[in-house]
Amino acid sequence: MSNSLRTLFDQKKLSIIVSLPENRVDLAKAALDAGADALKFHINVNHRASGNEFKDVDYYMETFREIRELYDGPLGLVLSDDVNKVNQLDLQQIKDIGFTYFSLYSKDITSKLLLQNELEKTVAVDDLFHPNEVKAIENFDMKAVELSVVNKEDYGKPLNFEDITLYMNYRKRTDLPIIIPSQKKLVPEDLDIFHQIGIQSVMLGAVTIGTTEESIYESVTTFAKQASTI
């Protein structure tokens, strides 16, 4: 398995990334055993969906190294939700642990991160980032755009046609791979619609897969099976 996101997107019609609610080996193993194509973790973040406060990279060092030994695919990291902390990070250290890409909101990506080549780059855009602006992202070697564009008050509700047409507005305006995070409570059938409108990946998080080893395994299994039929 390649550890490159771009290779993953080229090889699979619709890939499954799992964003873990906690940085734990058992949760990572459950997601991988269920068929996840890639994993994403967090540091230096107060995470809304899971309700967790994530500490710095040193706190999770051994956990991350153990998870890296489980598989050799793409391993992503949300570096912070504080732009000041982002510039203080040692990206070479993060790469040496085994991470292959970072994920950050556009407001938290600094020039340092745009210029570095240790990690593949992905950017998340929120509901304030207009679809007409997404084309400009192509100039900065981003490997994917994560559409975190659901209004906060709609988190956890079922996906609807309004959401789908919103995603389409972004899809039509860029050639970059698009990742849809599960801000809505997704069901496996949603993957068929995502593929139909040209989405490359879905990122399953706590809203859809829960927070326990059992719920993660069961949920990711159903989504991976659905993705394998596309």
Instruction: Give the chain's mean pLDDT.
Output: 93
Tokens of 206: 């706590």
Q: Virtual CA dihedral for 166, 179, 40, 87, nearest 10 degrees?
A: -80
Closest by Cα among 144, 183, 178, 179 to 163: 183
Q: How many angstroms separate the CA atoms of 203 and 52, rounded?
A: 18
Q: What is the pTM of this model?
A: 0.93
Strand locations in the chain (E): 15-19, 38-42, 45-46, 53-54, 75-78, 101-105, 120-125, 142-147, 178-181, 201-204
- Tens digits of residue pLDDT in 39-55: 999 998 875 555 678 89
Residues above pLDDT 90, as percent of the chain:
81
Q: Is 68 exposed, middle or buried (0-12, 13-18, 19+ CB in 10 A)?
A: middle
